Amino acid sequence: MKATKQDVPSVQAPQDRVASVSSPQFIRSRIGKVCVAIAAASPAEMIEKAEETARENTFLEFRLDYLAQPLLALPKIKQFLYERSEVTAIATCRRVSTGGHFKGTIAAELEILEKAAAAGCQLVDIELQTAEAMKKGQLDKLRAAGPALVISYHDFTITKDLDGIFERISPFEPEFIKIVSTAKTLADNVTMMRFLERTRDLASVIGICMGEQGVISRVLGLRAGSVFTFAAANAGEETGPGQITARTLEETFRIDQLDAATKVFGVVGNPVRHSLSPVMMNTAFRRETVNAVFLALQTSKIGDLLTLVREVPINGLAVTMPFKEEILKHLERTDPLSEKVGACNTVVRSQDGKLYGFNTDVAAVVRPLERRLQLKGAKILVMGAGGAARAAVFGLKDKGAEVFILNRTPEAAQKLARQAKAKTFKRDQLAKTNFDVIINATPAGMHGVKTHNILEAKELNARIVFDLVYNPIDTPLVRMAREKSIPVITGVEMFVHQGARQFEIWTGKPAPEEEMLRVVVHALRQRAAEENGAKH
């Protein structure tokens, strides 16, 4: 019979403590919503990381399979848990065949987990495949060591048959059932969250989708019924694809405060992994006490996005490449600007589920320029012909500027020029032409985009250079302009301005624009410093 909460003695050595804390109710009373995975190359490093992490999070997972000799770590773990009685720990020693790093046998894995329980780990995690391959007596022996049992299943390729896996795990009667799949689409997160909603009253279930597209489940899974979620101790120490750091989950996504009333917003595009919209918007929500969360939604298919919007539901979207034009046909109505430009970057979902579109890009291009020069009659070159370029061209034409379009695909430039009554421009004329403003509205120079320098220094002849790419702050184009002593407008100014207007459309509150700018600049500088550090 498993011990209950009242069985726990007031003063406990780790070995006494183990036998009394295996009830899920007691463990749930001790743990937070985030379990931080500790992976290290040596026992000393593992304890060092655990010490550092336990200052902020007292729920840890020791990934013993990352160690060459896991048994050598157990005396140190025992001492750590004795000294830090507030810590609740999971011991995991996942074998290679089930996605871990441990190269030993099932018997060797079980020996390590039994000894980890004796060292004070209140939970042990074994894989479903291991449980199914064990002899009955082996599982009983593990249970006799006193820990709560987590039986886990990991699928590193797909999200499918979650109910079938649940049915396979249930007969073992573990205290916790952990099912981890891989999201190939945004809709896979919906599949996981519906599964969690179905099973939340049947068992203590942990459910997560791995991968870039599974981030939604890591943030919203708790709301759907997952008992807790997993996080990395630090960036670069992830133990699963798409894992987020504990600090990001708690500070950016405010995971402890999410509830049924929390509104969900997101930035949709491909790619959006490096987008700073989540940090900017979540900061604004926190500052203005809005019960909302903002996520990165990466997909290549608009139908996948629309499923997520309908099912979660998503209350609003920031739309980036390549969907600014494609989204229009899925909207009930748009503001006149989106209609005129033929591109929309802001979507609101009404209570009846209908989608309405707005364009905040136009003002975010025009206003920074208006602060610096008279736009009427100004000679402006726009490079690109996508959604951002359309916003720039139509917005500047409206202000009376003479606009020229240069694009890698001349047909797209010609089409946009016809629609906006602008002119096209040939690359071979650049070196001998002066402009008041040159605007880059292509992804060239963007973090994570492999593109060559968009222009050569001799072709950059302008009074002002405006790069709509905001990440990094100093793009190759911005650096080239500064070398030629040409004043620049960085994409950060546009990015924050359009984001502030989106915030106001979604919430009806004034945007904390200075705070949004501060957090974006800080994040960009931090990234640049990390990358420079990695190079040296």
pLDDT tens for 236-250 read 999 999 999 999 999
Q: HEC profile for 501-528?
A: HHHHHHHCCCCCHHHHHHHHHHHHHHHH
User: Rounded to 5 degrees, what are φ and ψ at 226?
Assistant: -65, 135
Q: What is the model's pLDDT at position 84?
A: 96
What would the pLDDT profile of 349-367 be if each residue is shown by its tens digit?
Answer: 999 999 999 999 999 999 9
Q: Cβ(223)–Cβ(259) under 8 Å?
A: yes
**pLDDT of 309 higher than 50:** yes
Tally the C-alpha atoms within 13 A of residue 401's C-alpha that lie toward its C-beta: 28
Helices marked H in 84-236: 106-118, 128-133, 136-144, 162-169, 187-199, 215-224
Span 94-148, pLDDT tens digits: 999 999 999 999 999 999 999 999 999 999 999 999 999 998 789 999 999 999 9
Spatial separation of the C-alpha atoms in residues 418 and 412, rounded to whole Å: 10
Give whole-number Cα distances, 241 to 53, 211, 213, 225, 272, in Å: 20, 5, 10, 22, 16
Separation of CA 48 from chain center: 27
Work out the number of other CB atoms within 10 angstroms of the CB of residue 132: 12
Active site residue 497: no
Q: Which residues are annotated as a binding site?
A: 61-63, 94, 218, 239, 243, 275-277, 320, 345, 361, 384-388, 468, 470, 491, 498
Torsion sign across C-alpha atoms 323, 326, 328, 331: negative
Mean pLDDT, the chain, as a whole number? 92
| Helix, strand, coil share (%) of the chain residues, nearest 5 | 45, 20, 35
Tell me if 5-253 shares its fold with 371-496: no
The reply to whether 178 belongs to the active site is: yes
pLDDT attached to residue 12: 40
Q: Which of 22-31, 192-201, 315-324, 482-491 has the lowest mean pLDDT?
A: 22-31
What are the beta bridge partners of residue 423?
A: 404
Task: Provide mean pLDDT across the span 509-513.
Answer: 97
pLDDT digits (tens, 9 = 90+) for 178-234: 999 999 999 999 999 999 999 999 999 999 999 999 999 999 999 999 999 999 999
Q: Please name the CATH architecture into which domain 371-496 falls.
A: 3-Layer(aba) Sandwich (3.40)
255-280: average pLDDT: 94
CA 536, chain centre distance (Å): 27
The span from the CA of 218 to the CA of 240, in Å, is 12
Check 49, 78, 115, 154 and give the catalytic one.
154
CATH 3.20.20.70 at 5-253, yes or no: yes
Q: How far apart are CA 151 and CA 19, in angstroms?
A: 19
Residues contributing to the annotated binding site for shikimate: 275-277, 320, 345, 361, 470, 498
CB of 52 closer than 8 Å to CB of 45: no
Catalytic residue among 78, 115, 178, 497: 178
271 preceded by a cis bond (ω within 30 of 0): yes
Tell me the C-alpha to C-alpha distance, in Å, between residue 448 and each of 460, 497, 516.
Answer: 24, 23, 23
Per-domain residue ranges of the chain: 5-253, 371-496
Q: Which of 324, 415, 497, 536 is catalytic?
A: 324
Partners of residue 196 on adjacent β-strands: none
Burial class (CB in 10 A: 0-12, 13-18, 19+), 382: buried
**Residues 229, 233, 239, 240: is their CA dihedral positive or negative?**
positive
Q: Among positive and negative, which fits the CA dihedral 416, 422, 426, 431?
A: negative
Q: What is the percent of the chain where pLDDT is above 70?
A: 95
